[in-house]
Chain A
Amino acid sequence: MNKSNKLNKVILLVTSFQTIILGIAFIVQILRIYFGNSKVFTRDICGQYILEILPVIILWILVIIGSFIYFNINDFKYKNISKVSNVTKLANLERICPMINDEMVSNKLKSIKKKNLIVEIVLIIIIVLSSLMGLGYLLNIKHFDPTGDLFDQAKQMAIHLMPWAIISFGAFIGYSFYIEYSAKASCDILREVIKNNGKVNKEEILSKKKKMIKLICQLCIVVIAVVFIVVGVFNGGAEDTLQKAVNICTECIGLG
């Protein structure tokens, strides 16, 4: 069993290694044409560069086919690729937790919630500020001159916005780690309460009224959509869509 597990791991690693090598090969070839060939692309040049990495491509295909057959015959299955988060566990526990009469326990939970709220507020502030900084760049029309080099403007936009995006997502990731950690503490408390007092069922089943509201919303949106389409047909929107679709937008597909 151990031997087969080791073999499985080796094959997986070989396949992933081959895949990454192939990806790098393609990137290197395109960069060689771009930098080494003075950005001149022709059918023959591209063909020649692809032929150079043909052995790598063929090897990759063979490895993929081989690993596919091997793993299918040996009924290989990946281990469960995720575990349930503490936040989800907490939500489940809150659903079945009875009312908490113990003041000390209740205060503990309240203090955890307070801390979570503070962290949430900090996160929202960071995201809002980062968004405003990004928005500030976007709303400054000087950065987007239609007569200038559009690719360069896009590059500058990415350079200016990326740090704010990194800060926002970094803060969000940090927040999710914190929440996970604090949820664990809350879970432990609620498990104790359930152990001592038993479970209840606080499941909220969608009432008839809410179902009706949902149905009405769906119908309204369908009607709005149909009206929009009809208006759009009459104001020439359909024709514009057709015109755009029957002509190849070269820059849209990277021909530039």
Chain B
Amino acid sequence: MKKVKQFFSKLKPSKRKVIQLYSALLYNAYMKGFVTGEIFQGKSKAVCLPGLNCYSCPGAIGACPLGSIQNALAESKTKLPTYVFGIILLYCIIFGRTICGFLCPVGLLQELLFKIKTPKVRKSKITRCLSYFKYVLLFVLVIGLPLIYAFQEKGLPLPGFCKYICPAGTFEGAIFLLMNKANTTFFEMLGTLFTWKFFLLIIFIVASIFIYRFFCRFFCPLGAIYGIFNKLSILGVKVDKSACNHCNACINTCKMDVKEVGDHECIQCGDCMKVCGCKAIKWKMISQIIKEDEARQKEQEVKVSTVDEVNTKKVFKISKKNFNIITYVLMLVSLTTVMVLVNIGPNTYKTYDIVDDLIITDYDNKTFDIKVDSNATLLYFFNDQKDLDINKINSYSNEKLNIILLSENKVDINIENVYFAEDVDGKLLKKFSKDKNCPYSVFLDFNDKILINQSGFITDSEYFEIINYTLLGLTVGNEVGNICINKEIGIINSTDTFSVAENRGKVTIINFWYTTCTPCVQELPHFNSLYEEYSDYVSVIAIHEASGYKNNPDNVKKFIENQFEGFSILFGYDDPNDSYYTLLGGLKAWPVTVIVDQEGVITKVTHGSMTESELRAEIENLIK
């Protein structure tokens, strides 16, 4: 019984473990992402998290500091990376390597692996020397490579450490995304790079079982950055030199390669405090506000001789127990709040979703039940009668199509074969649009799959390309074999538009890219050279990611002028409100290439980059 009790008491996590677990959960609070396989899109991702946590992890709600530094440096030709540097500097000066000890999920994972009982590798002079290798990685891969590639004539955004080494990206990003069935297409992208990174991941995991914090000590550039500010940081551990008897029990116990407590290798975990015989090691700041226990206080009173000690006694202090309670409550409340905010939100239908429950009763008391009705359905939400183009609506009339016009207030209009219904308080519109912006159009095919889900009324081309083809019995969609869903795309530096429908008779290649995506930028020259070779038979458009263009169109235009000068392919921009990238099946991974044949049928959808030979083979196959 005693042994059983002993066993369970050992399982109780320490406070530091609780905080590490809390931070790992907080950083990855978007639990929905693990289920849907999609990464979080919220605004909180503009903020860098303190610890190493890949932003491609499905649960991540913030940006990775190391990835952000590299990307910011990659853009430093056009913009000073002050934002990311400011955040990192703030973390450095406030926390130093306390982040490593308390707030890093990768550190937590390594510590848990180290708990596996195997022979352990001792720290030594050699490990102390090798701990400087992370500074080499910092200089070469984090700072050097992004700058080297960025400052060339045709610069390329290359986050060197993320791409070639980072195990957090492989584990949190790649593995978790690949595990989800929704991301099966990602497997097409795997090749040499994944093999190398997976190999490295296994090495890091196995080594962490034998060597304490193997990655942190020898490879982590983030730890290297934080370590520089360790002695100056506001939080952390400090040694009261007047109380220290230099027994070196702290250094002896510490599993990191420290020479003294608080140096650049110290992760401020506080384990040395437990072994310090003279209680000389304290927490900076926190020791100022927490009351010592009574015995310790009496000891201090005897030792007090300096003015400083007297002064600190006058400061208001709370008891350790109350401090712990307050901390745990704050942690619980903040974690719950964040989880609720990011995971719970209005669920609206998206394009390609199947509507499972829709019953509408029109003003003539005729009921439409989606489940029973075999027709296709066009829903149009409006507030103002001026938004109704009655002639157009009339022209769309078809026996296989139910046209239902909905508004919050009753309207006195009668159009043949068109039904009017009331949408009380916009409840039905809320199912399709978060913002409830009228006018709004929704088109459901014969299988109740949403093919149009957008604000405004449908355009003529959308009618002909989507609704008409559907009514003719053809499948319009984003999968291979479907008629490619059509949309008019704006062309950069032009008032013209591009659509697949307009390019019937030619093979159409639609590529989705953005400026800071390395493989995207690398592959576009292949697209251009092949377009120039087969221009009579092929149309190519490279569509820039929606919000990136919307927020900074000049940046994108400048990038295209500089990087793709003289290119013959078209450059377009996506619509953030009704993204063509999403319509064509984009899963927030870039680049994506969709190849459409001369009849408008999708023949290939590639997630990830395409080589010139692959693209050439596809084109030649279709041209034959």
Contact = CB atoms under 8 A, between A and B. Distances in A.
Given A16-B118, A241-B84, A147 B206 contact: no
A81 to B, nearest CB: 5
Nearest to A46: B187
Given A11-B117, A41-B187, A95 B246 contact: yes
A109 B607 CA distance: 68
A180 B124 CA distance: 11
Interface string A136-168: 001001001011001100100100010001000
B202 A27 contact: yes
Interface string A212-256: 001001100110111111111101111111111111111111111
Interface string A76-89: 10101111110111
A94 B358 CA distance: 84
B90 A229 contact: yes
Contacts of B545: 243, 247
Nearest to B195: A34
A33 B192 CA distance: 11
A33 B178 CA distance: 16
Q: Which among B41, B164, B522 has the highest number of chain A CB atoms within 10 Å? A: B164
Contacts of B156: 146, 150
B606 to A, nearest CB: 11
A147 B193 contact: no
Contacts of A72: 6-7, 10-11
B215 interface: no
B75 interface: yes
B27 interface: no
A154 B525 contact: no
Contacts of A15: 116-118
Contact of B252 (A22, A39, A83, A134): A83
A81 B518 contact: no
Chain B: interface secondary structure?
A: helix
A239 B551 contact: yes
Contact of A82 (B122, B169, B188, B518): B122
Interface residues of B, number: 137
Contact of A73 (B6, B67, B90): B6
Contacts of A88: 248, 251, 259
Contacts of A239: 46, 551-552
B7 A23 contact: no
Given A83-B252, A146-B522, A246 B191 contact: no
Interface string B109-153: 000000111111011111011101100100010001100110010
B170 interface: yes
B345 interface: no
A161 B164 CA distance: 15
Contacts of A26: 198, 202
B116 A249 contact: no
Contacts of A236: 79, 551-552, 555
Interface string B177-210: 1100100101111111111111100110110011
A3 B89 CA distance: 54
Interface string A14-25: 011001101100
A69 interface: yes
Interface residues of A, number: 102
Given A84-B248, A172-B129, A225-B87, A16 B241 contact: no
Interface stretch (B48-56, B387-395, B443-451, B474-482): B48-56
A197 interface: no
B242 interface: yes
Nearest to B173: A253
Contacts of B246: 92, 95-96
Contact of B193 (A96, A221, A249, A254): A254
A144 B89 contact: no
Contact of A75 (B6, B86, B90): B6
Given A232-B84, A236-B79, A253 B248 contact: no
A150 B148 contact: no
Given A147-B154, A239-B552, A253-B177, A180 B125 contact: yes
A4 interface: no
A67 B116 CA distance: 8
Q: Which among A154, A218, A237 has the highest number of chain B CB atoms within 10 Å? A: A237
Interface string A167-206: 0010011001100100000000000000000000001111
A151 B193 contact: yes
A126 to B, nearest CB: 13
Nearest to A217: B232
A251 B119 contact: no
A41 B190 contact: yes
10 contacts: A15-B116, A16-B210, A73-B3, A85-B125, A151-B192, A169-B133, A238-B83, A245-B63, A246-B40, A254-B194
Given A225-B86, A243-B514, A256-B194, 14 more contacts: A31-B195, A73-B6, A82-B123, A88-B251, A150-B158, A218-B93, A222-B93, A228-B86, A235-B83, A244-B71, A253-B54, A253-B173, A255-B190, A256-B191
Which 7 residue pairs across A and B have the least CB separation, nearest first? Answer: A232-B83, A228-B86, A237-B83, A253-B173, A254-B197, A229-B86, A41-B190
Interface of A: 11-13, 15-16, 19-20, 22-23, 26-27, 30-31, 33-34, 39, 41-43, 46, 64, 67-69, 71-73, 75-76, 78, 80-85, 87-89, 92, 95-96, 134, 138, 141, 144, 146-147, 150-151, 154, 157, 161, 165, 169, 172-173, 176-177, 180, 203-206, 208, 214, 217-218, 221-222, 224-233, 235-256
